[in-house]
């Protein structure tokens, strides 16, 4: 790689506040964009930085008092770079201390490099994987007048890796601003903690979620359970834009690996989905904890929930069926013997009749459909639960909580067995659960009681993590947000939402301006556990080119015997 042109010199700064850089006279301030990735060459170390602010400076207040006329281009050019200049603020994110044998190019200290296939070199160090380079947290700053450079392709490959890295399971999520080099997530690190995709409505969260899920499936980093509230992930979905078009869903991209369950079979069939498995939930699968989550939608009082516990203790799993058939006389008799409240139980009975209006609810079911979902996950199948017309908050929250609670119980048992036996055969498959409208499940009032709050806080040790998709991160409990490992954030405008994104993030204040100035489409700030440093990316298009790159067998070419059938999921009951 030839020498790159220095952009400016470090003139002042601090470890806590970042660096101020004065641009060289021949560098246009208009080429400096917030979110850009730059490299500062110190005397012994290179500092990888993000551009967080751009400003104009003058050498004298007289220039501000008497600026040149707009037509006086000659005077403007005379002042440029001396009397007037541009400055940028950089936040150092990582540093690399060069080996003693590093070969300097003699100007600015940038090392000569060479590339061969997927390999890259860093100074005197031959790099086969970005795992070979020790990137250190920033604990010092470069000296005065250190030169600043545009990041090269080599820098991005060293920091973020490349997709064909033989030592890491990397997936390209997009490209940096103004460059044509991939930015990769380390998927093994991504799935081992809960993650979040955030952004206001219309910024492409669903497309970004579908992109990441496709990467996890392609790279076999984890098995997925996706609660598809708006029918956007399983089968084809409508693409945004002036012209009506559709994009492929995960079932079409990976037909042999993705199984669809539907809570609204009629709506799913109308969309042209073939062999999706029906899914029903019975009243005896609903517990008081599930009702506590949807107490707002059902308008349940605290007294009603307390009496629900009394009913459950008396009638067991059949308590809802028994309650819905009880007469006033039976309720009166029950309250007299069990110390219940007649008015509360009658109110509970009246409000629970709404559950019968949900299409997927049954009084009783001879088939344990949740066991079938668990069986599919055990076989390594990725499961999409499609809601169809049952996408109101009551139907969505109730089904997801009932299913996730049983997933939790199953994985706790599996993890405990694995801990006892230490046998690799008993190791549970890493599971990632995707939920939309996450603040409904994880708000401060209910996060400690809901199963999703438990998963976000504790289930990493049980091989289960969440992928939360939400447009109001400020509605999510702070304790849960602090557990979110990787945050992929599109444009947000609300100050509370922006504050929530940086909960528990060191140096988050300097990134606020970066987040607030993202484009409304196809740009995102990526930070957290799966990337070595925060970076702004132009997200990868989800189109026919991507379909070809993931390399899945086209649906039309898939042999019939490979299609996953419901009969293949028959398993012994897991005790639920």
- What would the pLDDT profile of 356-393 be if each residue is shown by its tens digit? 888 898 888 878 888 999 999 999 999 999 988 877 88
Q: How confident is the model at residue 453 (pLDDT cuts 50, 70, 90)?
A: confident
Residues 97 and 21 both lie in one domain: yes
Identify whether 436 is part of a domain: yes
Tokens matching residue 77: 């050019």
Give the dihedral sign, CA 416/418/421/422. negative
411: which residues sit within 8 A by CB, 6+ positions away?
428, 431, 459, 462, 463, 464
Identify whether 182 is part of a domain: no
Residues 326 and 260 both lie in one domain: no
Last residue in a domain, options 508, 541, 564: 508
3-state secondary structure at position 12: strand
pLDDT at residue 116 greater than cutoff 50 = no
Question: What pLDDT is recorded for position 106?
Answer: 36
Q: In angstroms, rounded to a whole number, what is the distance separating the alpha carbons of residues 511 and 515?
A: 6
Residues 437 and 500 both lie in one domain: yes
Domain interval for residue 249: 187-280+367-508
Identify whether 575 is part of a domain: no
Question: What pLDDT is recorded for position 242?
Answer: 56
Question: What are the counts of helices (DSSP H) followed by strands (DSSP E) for the chain?
Answer: 21, 26
Identify whether 68 is part of a domain: yes
| Least confident window among 224-238, 505-519, 549-563 | 549-563
Residues 383 and 405 both lie in one domain: yes
User: Is 158 in contact with 122 (CB distance < 8 Å)?
Assistant: yes
Residues 27 and 155 both lie in one domain: yes
Residues 56 and 99 both lie in one domain: yes
Identify whether 390 is part of a domain: yes
Residues 243 and 379 both lie in one domain: yes
527: which residues sit within 8 A by CB, 6+ positions away?
486, 487, 489, 505, 511, 533, 534, 535
β-strands 382-386, 431-436: how paired? unpaired
Identify whether 290 is part of a domain: yes
Question: What pLDDT is recorded for position 554?
Answer: 56
Q: In angstroms, rounded to a whole number, what is the distance separating the alpha carbons of residues 202 and 471?
A: 10
Task: Give how far Cα 198 sits from Cα of 153, 166, 439, 466, 515, Å.
Answer: 28, 31, 11, 14, 11
Between 105 and 169, where is the model more confident? 169
Question: What pLDDT is recorded for position 467?
Answer: 94
Q: What mean pLDDT do residues 191-213 have?
A: 91
Identify whether 231 is part of a domain: yes
**How confident is the model over 135-157, as pLDDT tens digits?**
888 999 999 999 999 998 888 88
User: Is 490 in contact with 199 (CB distance < 8 Å)?
Assistant: yes
Last residue in a domain, options 487, 508, 529: 508
Last residue in a domain, options 508, 526, 560: 508
Identify whether 167 is part of a domain: no
Q: In angstroms, rounded to a whole number, what is the distance separating the alpha carbons of residues 435 and 68?
A: 57
Closest CA to 445 of 479, 408, 415: 479
Q: Any idea of the CA torsion for 161, 165, 166, 167, to the nearest 10 degrees? A: 10
How many separate domains does the chain show? 3
Provide the mean pLDDT of the chain.
83
In what helix (H) or strand (E) does residue 187 lie, and over which residues does it extend? helix 187-191
Residues 216 and 322 both lie in one domain: no
Q: Any idea of the CA torsion for 501, 506, 512, 514, to the nearest 10 degrees? A: -100
pLDDT at residue 105 greater than cutoff 50 = no
Residues 154 and 35 both lie in one domain: yes
How deeply is 423 buried, as exposed, middle or buried, from its count of CB atoms within 10 A (0-12, 13-18, 19+)? exposed
Residues 272 and 416 both lie in one domain: yes
Question: What pLDDT is recorded for position 11?
Answer: 94
Q: In angstroms, rounded to a whole number, what is the distance separating the alpha carbons of residues 542 and 214?
A: 10
Give 383-394 as a DSSP string.
Answer: EEEE-TT--SHH
- The CATH number for 380's domain is 3.40.50.300
Residues 154 and 199 both lie in one domain: no
Residues 233 and 193 both lie in one domain: yes
Say what the pTM is. 0.83
């Amino acid at each position: 790689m030839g020498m790159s042109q220095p952009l400016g010199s470090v003139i002042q700064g601090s470890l806590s506040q970042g660096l101020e850089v004065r641009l060289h006279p021949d560098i246009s301030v208009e080429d400096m964009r917030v979110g850009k990735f730059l490299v500062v060459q110190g005397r012994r170390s290179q500092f990888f930085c993000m551009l967080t602010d751009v400003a104009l400076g003058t050498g004298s207040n007289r220039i501000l008092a008497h600026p040149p006329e707009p037509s006086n281009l000659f005077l403007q050019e005379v002042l440029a770079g001396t009397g007037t200049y541009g400055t940028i603020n950089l936040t150092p994110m990582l540093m690399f201390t060069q080996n003693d044998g590093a070969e300097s190019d003699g100007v600015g200290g940038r090392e000569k490099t060479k590339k061969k296939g997927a390999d890259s070199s860093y100074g005197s160090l031959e790099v086969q994987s970005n795992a070979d380079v020790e990137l250190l947290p920033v604990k010092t700053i470069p000296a005065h007048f250190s030169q600043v450079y545009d990041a090269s392709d080599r820098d991005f490959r060293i920091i973020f890796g490349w997709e064909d890295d033989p030592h890491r399971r990397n997936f390209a999520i997009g490209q940096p601003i103004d460059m044509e080099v991939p930015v990769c997530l380390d998927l093994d690190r991504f799935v081992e903690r809960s993650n979040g995709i955030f952004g206001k409505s219309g910024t492409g969260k669903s497309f970004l979620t579908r992109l990441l899920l496709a990467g996890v499936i392609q790279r076999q980093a984890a098995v997925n359970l996706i609660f598809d509230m708006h029918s956007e992930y399983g089968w084809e979905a409508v693409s945004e834009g002036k012209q009506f078009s559709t994009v492929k869903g995960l079932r079409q991209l990976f037909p042999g690996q993705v199984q669809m369950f539907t809570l609204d079979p009629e709506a799913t069939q109308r969309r042209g989905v073939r062999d999706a498995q029906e899914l029903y939930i019975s009243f005896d699968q609903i517990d008081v904890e599930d009702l506590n989550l949807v107490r707002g939608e059902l308008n349940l009082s605290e007294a009603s929930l307390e009496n629900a516990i009394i009913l459950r203790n008396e009638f067991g799993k059949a308590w809802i069926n028994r309650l819905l058939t009880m007469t006033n006389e039976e309720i009166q008799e029950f309250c007299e013997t069990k110390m219940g409240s007649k008015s509360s139980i009658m109110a509970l009975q009246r409000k629970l009749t709404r559950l019968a209006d949900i299409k997927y609810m049954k009084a009783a079911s001879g088939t344990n459909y949740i066991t079938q979902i668990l069986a599919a996950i055990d076989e390594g199948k990725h499961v999409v639960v499609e809601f169809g017309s049952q996408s109101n908050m009551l139907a969505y929250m109730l089904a997801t909580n009932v299913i996730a609670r049983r997933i939790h119980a199953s994985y706790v048992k599996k993890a405990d067995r694995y801990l006892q036996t230490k046998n690799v055969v008993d190791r549970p498959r890493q599971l990632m659960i995707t939920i939309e409208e996450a603040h409904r499940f994880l708000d401060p009032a209910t996060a400690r009681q809901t199963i999703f709050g438990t998963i976000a806080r504790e289930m990493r040790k049980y091989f289960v993590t969440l992928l939360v998709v939400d447009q109001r991160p400020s509605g999510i409990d702070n304790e849960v947000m602090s557990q979110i490992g990787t945050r992929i954030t599109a444009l947000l405008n609300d100050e509370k939402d922006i504050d929530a994104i940086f909960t528990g993030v060191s140096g988050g204040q300097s990134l606020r301006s970066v987040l607030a100035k993202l484009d409304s489409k196809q740009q995102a700030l990526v930070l957290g556990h799966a990337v070595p440093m925060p970076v702004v990316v132009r997200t990868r298009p989800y189109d026919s080119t991507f379909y070809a790159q993931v390399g899945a067998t086209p649906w039309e070419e898939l042999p019939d015997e490979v299609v996953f059938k419901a009969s293949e999921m028959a398993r012994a009951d897991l005790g639920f």
